Amino acid sequence: MDAQIQRAGGAAGSLTMAATTRAGTARARARPPRVRLEHVIMGGAIGALIVLVVLPLAFLLLGSLRGEEGLSLEHFAEVLSGRLYLSALQNSLILGAWTALFSLLIGLTLAFAVSRTDVPGKGLIRLTATLSYLSPPFLTAIAFVYLFSPNAGLINVFLRDVAGAPWLAFNIFSMPGLVLVTVLHTFPFVFLLAASALQSVDAAYEEAAQILGASKLRTTVSITMPLVAPAVLSGTLLAFVNAIALFGSQAIIGLPGRVVTLPTRIYALFDYPPEYGLASALSLVFVVITVAALYLQRAFLARRSYVTLAGKGARPQLMRLGPSRFVLLGLAALVFLISIVAPYSTLVAVSLSKSWGLDFWKNLTLANYKFILLEYNVTQRAILNSLLLATVAATIAVLLGAVIGWIDLRTRLPGRRLLDYAALIPLGLPGIVVAVALIQFWLAMPLALYGTLAILLLAYVGRYIPLSVRSANASLRQIDPSLEESAQILGASWTATMREITLPLIRPGLFAGWLLVFVPVIQELSASILLFSSSSITLAVAVFNLYETGYTESVAALAMVNMAIIGVAIWLAYKVGGGGIAAGGREGATG
C-alpha cells in the first residue's frame, strides 16, 4: 500500500514538474526578448553610419540624375562634354600626375636615404616629412604667394628691383606653382610607405645577391626596388588622390592664374543661382577618379605581404656613400628649407609686420595678433567654433569607430563586413564632394541644418570616420578576445567589460584616432567652404576669407594661431595617450 502511495505521489510530482516546465516555457515564449544596452549602442552606430555616409551619397546620385522633367542624364552629358568642365578635369589630372611624379622622386629618395644609407641628419629628414604632412596646404600656399606673387612677392620684388634680375622671378600663380605647393604636402605619403617597406625587406635576399657577385647598385635595382614597388606605387597613388582633392591651394594659387580644377569648378557652381544637379554630376565624376586611384592603391598595397620580414630576417646593411652622402644631406636640407623654413618663417615675419615688404623688419608689431584674438569678433568666433567642432567631431568619430570595430571583430552580426566597408567609403571622397552630398541630403529633409554647426559636425565626422575606425580596428586586433570572454563568464555585463577591460587596453589607439581626426578638422577647408554661415564660420574659412579680402598681415597671424592649436593638440594627445599613441597612429593611418 505504501509503495502504491509513493508511486502515485511520484507520478503526481512528475506531472506537476512537467506542467511547471510547460508553463515556464510558455511564459518564456510569450516574454519579448530583452533589449540590452549593447544592442542599442550597435544599432545607434549602424544608424549613424547610414545617416553620415550612405544616405548623403544616395541623394548625391539622385541629385545628379534629377532633370527638369524627371530622371535624366543631362547633367552628366553637360559635364562630360562642356569645355569648362573638361578643362577643369584636364587640369586636375595634370596636377595629379605631376604631383605624383615629384612626390615619388622626393619621397623615395629621402626614404632610401633614411633606411639604407649612412647619410647624416636622419632625424631632420623624418621631421621634414612629419611637419610637411601636418602643415595645412592652404597656409603653405598663402606663404608662397607672399614670396612669389608676380607683383608684390618679396623674393620677386628683390630680384626685380634690387638684384636687377627680373628673368629669375617665379610666378606662383601658374601650374608649376600649384604643383610646387602641392608636392610639399604629398611627398610624405611616398616617404612614409617607402621607408616602412624598405625597413621590412628581409636582408637575406640582398645578401644572397651580393654573394653571387652583384654590386650594391645592381642589388638595389634588381632586388630591393621590386620588393618595395607595391608600397611605393601605393604611396604615389595616395599622393595623386590628395593632390586633386585639395581645394584651398587650388583656389589660392590656381584661380588667379586661371588654372581651374575640379574642386574650384564645383565651388563656382554654387554661385547664385546654385547648379545643384551639375555640382552633383561633377562630384560623381570626381569620385570615380579618386575611387579608381584608391582601388589601384589597395591592390598594390595588398601585395606588400611578400616584402615583410621572414622568420630569420636580418637587418640590412647600410650603404656607405662616402663624400656623396653630404650631397644627399644637402638635398634633404633643401627640402626642409623649401617645405618648412620658407613658409613658416614667412608667415611669422608677415604676422609681426605692420606692412609686408622689403623693409618689414623695421616696423615689427604684435598688433595683428591683438586684432584677431581680442578685437575682431569674426576670428574669435571662428577659433571657438573650430575648437568645439574638432573636439566633438573627434570624440564622436572615435566612439563610433570603436563600436564599428568591435562589431566587425567581436560579433557575428550578418553584414558586419559591409558595415566596415561603408565606414571606409569617405576615404575616396574629397571634402567638397562630401559637402555637396550633405547639401543634397539635408535640403530634402524637414530639418534646416544648412549653415549651422550641426551640418559641419556631420561633415567632419562622416569624412574622417575611416581614420577612427582603422585606429580602433588595429587596436582591437591586438587584444585577445579571451580577456573579454573571461570577464563575461565571471558575470560582468557588456558595459562593464567595455569599461574595465576593452577601452583601457585600446586607449592608446583611441587617442591616436582622436588626434588623427582632430588635426585635419582644425585645418579643414574643402567641405567647410560650402557649408558655413556667418555664425558657424571656422578657422580655416576665416583665414581664406581674410586672404580674399586682402588682410595680409592678419591672415598670417591667424595662420600661426592655427598651427599653434595643432601643435598643442598633438602635445596634449601624446601626454595623455602615452607612448603607445605613435604606434596606434601609424596603424590607423596605414590601415
Are residues 97 and 61 both part of a single domain?
Answer: no
Given 364, 391, 406, the domain boundary residue is 364
pLDDT at 535 over 50: yes
Residue 136 lies in a domain: yes
More confident residue, 193 or 588: 193
Q: pLDDT by residue (tens digit) across 442-496?
A: 888 888 888 899 999 999 998 998 888 887 877 777 777 777 778 878 887 777 8
Average pLDDT for the chain? 81
Give the confidence band of 28 by pLDDT, cuts at 50, 70, 90. very low
Are residues 55 and 90 both part of a single domain?
Answer: no
557 beta partners = none
Distance CA 447, CA 505 (A): 39
Q: pLDDT by residue (tens digit) across 69-79?
A: 778 888 899 98
Within 10 angstroms of residue 446's Cβ, the number of other Cβ atoms is 5
Answer whether 472's CB lies under 8 Å from 444's CB.
no
Share of the chain above pLDDT 70, in %: 82
Domain that holds residue 317: 75-364
Q: How many helices (H) and strands (E) does the chain have?
A: 30, 2
Distance CA 558, CA 535 (A): 18
Residue 466 lies in a domain: yes
Give the confidence band of 302 by pLDDT, cuts at 50, 70, 90. low
Given 364, 394, 411, the domain boundary residue is 364
Q: What is the DSSP string of 123-152?
A: HHHHHHHHHHHHS-HHHHHHHHHHHH-TTT
Query: What pLDDT is attached to residue 178?
Result: 96
Give the confidence band of 309 by pLDDT, cuts at 50, 70, 90. very low
Query: What pLDDT is attached to residue 187?
Result: 93
53 beta partners = none
Query: What pLDDT is attached to residue 300?
Result: 63
Residue 1 lies in a domain: no
Are residues 388 and 373 both part of a single domain?
Answer: yes
Are residues 419 and 518 both part of a single domain?
Answer: yes
Are residues 353 and 403 both part of a single domain?
Answer: no
- Where residue 87 sits, what CATH number does that domain have? 1.10.3720.10
User: How many separate domains does the chain show?
Assistant: 2
The answer to which of 149-153, 217-221, 407-411, 580-584 has the lowest mean pLDDT is 580-584
Give the confidence band of 362 by pLDDT, cuts at 50, 70, 90. confident
Give the confidence band of 241 by pLDDT, cuts at 50, 70, 90. confident
More confident residue, 193 or 183: 183
Using the CB atoms, write b or e for 480-515: b if 16+ within 10 Å. Answer: eeeebeebeeeebebeebbeebbeebbbbbbbbbbb
Given 314, 344, 364, the domain boundary residue is 364
Residue 58 lies in a domain: yes
Query: What pLDDT is attached to residue 138?
Result: 92
Residue 455 lies in a domain: yes
Q: pLDDT by residue (tens digit) across 325-351?
A: 888 889 999 999 999 999 999 999 999
∠463-464-465 over CA atoms, to 5°? 100
Are residues 359 and 372 both part of a single domain?
Answer: no
Are residues 311 and 390 both part of a single domain?
Answer: no
For the residues 82-107, what does the mean pLDDT come to? 94
Q: Which of 24-33, 505-514, 521-530 has the highest mean pLDDT?
A: 521-530
| C-alpha cell belonging to residue 542 | 576665416
For the residues 272-299, what does the mean pLDDT come to? 83
Share of the chain above pLDDT 90, in %: 30
pLDDT at 566 over 60: yes
More confident residue, 283 or 316: 283
Are residues 149 and 211 both part of a single domain?
Answer: yes
Residue 126 lies in a domain: yes
Give the confidence band of 391 by pLDDT, cuts at 50, 70, 90. very high
